[in-house]
Amino acid sequence: MAAAGEPEVIRDKAAMRAWSRRRRAEGKTVVLVPTMGFLHEGHLSLVSTAANASAGAPVAVVVSIYVNPSQFAPTEDLATYPSDLAGDLRKLASTGAVHAVFNPPDLYVRGTDGSGGAAVSGSCLQEAAGGHETWIRVERLEVGLCGSSRPVFFRGVATVVSKLFNVVEPDVAVFGKKDYQQWRLICRMVRDLDFAIEIIGSEIVREADGLAMSSRNVHLSREEREKALSISKSLVNARTSALKNSNSASQHMKNQIAQTLSEAGGRVDYVEIVEQESLVPVDTIDRPVVICVAAWFGKVRLIDNIEIHPGS
């Protein structure tokens, strides 16, 4: 039993589902904030959004903390992904807005390695005999942007979010817009699979110097962090330019951003300007678009974006 003001920590899937059903029977709206832990102010802003998600009606806020192995490729940083459950629980308790934390030991059925032992899972779930084999794909929205360099990522995201939805059974779920492609992909999945869940996109939270908050920022050296500020600065400059010049050519703007990041010492993964809902690339900025950027600074891959609404 959690102390007064502290969220109840639930690890069992059946117990989590029963908890949500009790809250709904009490007339409350269940709101889920999915996270992978190592929480920062950006995550806490999602909690604040969740606490106010039901227009005055009582809410029951659930924060899930689960590092999802299926969205990491074998070459990616699952083993070094930062974790601090005790610190996360203190931060969530300090908000006074979180009622439960869902922290399952594993959300996947593990297969065997053929000799009767448990299959060894590297950075990505291995397809072993008797193990997890059902995946959800959002086929068009997962192509391009982060999907180009991380081919298993969105399959893993869509699948684990569906599992969380089936376990927690929320009425509302809150996702950060920093992971813009992920947010749009989840919206499309919910629409297509008829989940009775409202998806809220919460705005990016930034450090005082403009760097988008991320759990991976902790891995940046001081010098790398200073160089990484070129991402947000180039995005703000691009939006200012686009709003001044109607029908701006997207290719010229993409080249300028890429050059700025490279000159700052970054290794560009992509710079794309796409429609906000379809994520289809555009030639001119003559409709609502989003500029999406991914770049490496040192060994850390950072993503960021900025929406542009011409004429606004």
CATH number at 78 reads 3.40.50.620
197 and 222 share one domain: no
Compute the distance between CA of residue 118 and CA of residue 28 in angstroms, rounded to an integer. 41
* Low-confidence winner among 152-156, 242-246, 297-301 (lowest mean pLDDT): 242-246
Return the H-helix or E-strand segment holding 133. Answer: none
Q: Which domain holds residue 287?
A: 215-306
Q: Report the predicted TM-score, pTM, of the whole model to 2 decimal places.
A: 0.93
Give the bridge partners for 307, in sequence order: 290
135 and 25 share one domain: yes
The pLDDT-based confidence of 112 (bands split at 50, 70, 90) is confident
As annotated, the active-site residues are 43
Compute the distance between CA of residue 71 and CA of residue 68 in angstroms, rounded to an integer. 6
198 and 52 share one domain: yes
The pLDDT-based confidence of 122 (bands split at 50, 70, 90) is very low
Across 213-223, average pLDDT:
95
Chain CA centroid to CA 290, Å: 16
The token pair at 220 is 């940046």
Q: Please count the residues of the chain.
A: 312
pLDDT at residue 117 above 60?
no
Query: Given 170, 202, 234, which residue is the final one in a domain?
Result: 202
Q: Identify whether 311 is part of a domain.
A: no
Average pLDDT, the chain: 92
Residue 222, C-beta contacts closer than 8 angstroms, at least 6 positions apart: none
Chain CA centroid to CA 43, Å: 10
The token pair at 202 is 């919460």
238 and 132 share one domain: no
54 and 160 share one domain: yes
78 and 157 share one domain: yes
Compute the distance between CA of residue 175 and CA of residue 203 in angstroms, rounded to an integer. 9
Query: Given 149, 168, 202, which residue is the final one in a domain?
Result: 202
What amino acid is encoded at 298 in this protein?
G
At 274, which CATH number?
3.30.1300.10
Across 189-203, average pLDDT:
98
Query: How many CA atoms, within 13 angstroms, populate the side-chain half-sphere of residue 221?
Result: 6
Task: Give the count of domains, the chain.
Answer: 2
264 and 176 share one domain: no
Give the bridge partners for 304, in sequence order: 293
